[in-house]
């Protein structure tokens, strides 16, 4: 079963809400959908990235979640829709420096939702694309972690700093409380090569009290933070340049690209606990 967990109050842009669950392609919603989550032993949480409208998220994240064929028999996949975009049409990309706040607000709301709905002892896994990595990893920081076990985390093309999973003050908590964080990235990713450094620098100027600039985790893989080494359970897979994997080659287009299919297979293998997943 795939459930959308919608934290949007508008189809484009808008604010973060408390969240409403409804079944993809089905009739369950609200309390009925929550009842299905309540009886689940394992839940996989999938999160899209920046500049994705509600409709685009339903299509791309929904189709990607349906390709997690080893996860769905284990329990529901919860596809998180969040307002990491602006209602600016072709200029929506300009909102990136401020979308970190929406990512953090969504993480807080998602953690509160999981704490409220899931029963203690439920195991969780996470998969994300782009800025969705910030939502996923910050959610773990906000969870009542004594209630849950975190199995696997797969961050694809993560638009977060390459040192952030080594920093105890940022996302090191996710590494400490999970079996493994698997990074899938590409040096052919033009968004992370060109746009990310600019947006991250502007973000650090606007929110210097909580953001600092760095290279993109989805381009360089995990790096140490000062004297803090990369945790042993953080594994980075940088796709060969010959594959020409750009930022849009992870979640599914209406007609999936073979690279998107391979990304889904990689994520599915990670989430299933394969020791050496292959792209």
d(CA 7, CA 107): 10
Looking at residue 194, what DSSP letter applies? I
Whole-number pLDDT of residue 94: 55
pLDDT of residue 86: 79
Q: What is the pLDDT along the chain (279 residues), one digit of tens a residue?
A: 999 999 999 999 999 999 999 999 999 999 999 999 999 999 999 999 999 999 999 999 999 999 999 999 999 999 999 999 977 665 545 556 667 899 999 999 999 999 999 999 999 999 999 999 999 999 999 999 899 999 999 999 999 999 999 999 999 999 999 999 999 999 999 999 988 877 665 655 445 545 555 689 999 999 999 999 999 999 999 999 999 999 999 999 999 999 999 999 999 999 999 999 999
Cα radius of gyration rounded to whole Å, the chain: 17
At 130 the three-state DSSP class reads: coil
State residue 194's pLDDT score: 83
pTM: 0.94
The owner of tokens 């947006």 is 199
**pLDDT (0 to 100) of residue 99:** 74
pLDDT for res 200? 64
Task: Return the number of other C-beta atoms located less than 10 Å from residue 252's C-beta.
Answer: 20
| Nearest-angstrom CA–CA distance, 35 and 32 | 5
State how far the Cα of 113 lies from the Cα of 111, in Å rounded to an integer: 5
* Nearest partner of 63 among 240, 256, 233, judged by Cα: 256
Give the pLDDT of residue 208: 52
- All structural domains of the chain, each given as residue ranges with its CATH number in brackets, are 2-271 (3.40.50.1820)
Q: How far apart are CA 194 and CA 187, in angstroms?
A: 11
Where are the extended beta strands (E) located within 82-162?
123-129, 149-156
């Amino acid at each position: 079963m795939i459930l959308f967990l919608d934290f949007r109050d508008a189809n484009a842009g808008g604010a973060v809400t408390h969240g409403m669950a409804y079944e993809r392609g089905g009739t369950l919603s609200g309390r009925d959908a929550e009842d299905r989550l309540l009886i689940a032993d394992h839940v996989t949480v999938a999160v899209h990235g920046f500049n994705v409208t509600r409709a685009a998220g339903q299509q791309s994240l929904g189709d990607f979640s349906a390709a997690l064929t080893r996860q769905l028999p284990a329990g529901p996949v919860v596809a998180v829709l969040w307002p990491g975009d602006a209602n600016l049409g072709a200029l929506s990309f300009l909102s990136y420096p401020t979308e970190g706040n929406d990512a953090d607000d969504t993480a807080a709301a998602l953690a509160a939702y999981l704490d409220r709905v899931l029963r203690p002892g439920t195991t969780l896994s996470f998969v994300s694309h782009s800025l969705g990595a910030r939502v996923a990893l910050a959610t773990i920081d906000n969870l009542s972690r004594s209630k849950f076990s975190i199995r696997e985390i797969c961050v694809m093309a993560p638009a977060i700093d390459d040192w952030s999973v080594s920093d105890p003050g940022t996302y090191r908590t996710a590494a400490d409380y999970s079996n493994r964080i698997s990074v899938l990235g590409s040096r052919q990713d033009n968004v992370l090569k060109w746009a990310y450094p600019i947006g991250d620098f502007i973000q650090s100027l606007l929110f210097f009290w909580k953001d600092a600039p760095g290279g993109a985790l989805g381009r360089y893989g995990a790096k140490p933070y000062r004297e803090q080494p990369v945790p042993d359970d953080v594994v980075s897979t940088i796709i060969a340049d010959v594959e020409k994997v750009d930022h849009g080659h992870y979640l599914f287009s209406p007609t999936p690209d073979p690279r998107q299919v391979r990304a889904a297979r990689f994520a599915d293998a990670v989430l299933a606990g394969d020791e050496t997943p292959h792209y």
